Structure 1
């Protein structure tokens, strides 16, 4: 059996990583999606801890994502893992020809030691931070429309998000772009999810169909 191909999608919050990741999942026969947001613990940090992390040079290996690298490695070996985002179980999808695909929806790209070394193809969604912020704000509004009873809670969350944005979040997102974008295999700007899917598929399809070579995971090396 060919080892699964790890296709990672990175970009700033609001860039459309999750939307694109699930569109890619459909394109590649129900490929499992591992979502960074289902593992990360940094959003539990108080603002002063985030500020101290920035002051230390913002080491990405200090960001806690317990279990993510381990679950990705297990999927690469063909083992099932819990779906921590949507519930149920994730398994590498079988494909008629070529290697199965695993989608990694991540903020850290190859800058995270545990998962970065397992990525075969990294896509960076190159969205300007002001547009990403506008999309993030719209997500709060959409949440309030879908669940009017939660509007007060969402307004509080929005206020907290904007209160941290200029001092903590914007500098973090700028660092993310500076460190992760250069290591991307493919950079995509403006476009619809369908256009992005087509561009990614065109880029990796020859690799997926190529003859694999054995690896320590018992499958193939890209």
Structure 2
């Protein structure tokens, strides 16, 4: 969850119906995110470089115009899920087993379809595709070389 997650984001859509209708990312209201990004670029204290996570990438017209360089960190879904589960497991209070059961049920029902759709639509619009299986330090070094 972040400052821009809310009822207007992907999570609130009826995901099955949204995907069946073509999964148009422009149906999401991400105006607060776009406003914040525009402020970073042109506001009273613009920043030279801002690294942000933008799951919609350039697939959403509103955010597409504000992204100078888009990196896609390409990682197999199973590895991403395993890393997330390990991070959750190592929290001070890991989620109970019932949470994992609910998560996996939802993953099989719709989340995987959403990830596949994102991979098909967002990934091809990236300027750089990085191998997410590489160590974080290698990814960070690669990004820094590409943006400086």
Unaligned runs of 5+ in 2: none
Unaligned runs of 5+ in 1: 1-35, 81-90, 93-99, 206-222
For 1:195 and 1:203, the matched residues in 2 are separated by: 12
Secondary structure of 1:110 counterpart: coil
2:59 corresponding residue in structure 1: 111
Moved over 3 A (4+): none
Does the 8 Å CA contact 1:39/1:67 hold for their aligned counterparts? Answer: yes
For 1:44 and 1:182, the matched residues in 2 are separated by: 23
Q: How many residues align?
A: 145
2:85 corresponding residue in structure 1: 137
Q: Which has the higher contact order (CA 8 A, sep 6+)?
A: 1
Indicate which of 159, 171, 190 corresponds to 2:113: 171
Does the 8 Å CA contact 1:61/1:113 hold for their aligned counterparts? Answer: yes
Higher strand share: 1
TM-score (normalised: structure 1): 0.59
Indicate which of 97, 101, 126 corresponds to 1:159: 101
Q: How does 1:1-222 map to 2 (within 5 A)?
A: 37-41=2-6, 42=9, 45=12, 49-79=14-44, 92=47, 100-143=48-91, 146-147=92-93, 151-152=95-96, 155-189=97-131, 190-205=133-148
CA RMSD of aligned residues (A): 2.2
Q: CA deviation at 1:126?
A: 0.7
Does the 8 Å CA contact 2:31/2:62 hold for their aligned counterparts? Answer: no
> Which of the pair has more CA radius of gyration?
1
Secondary structure of 1:187 counterpart: strand
Q: CA deviation at 1:139?
A: 2.6
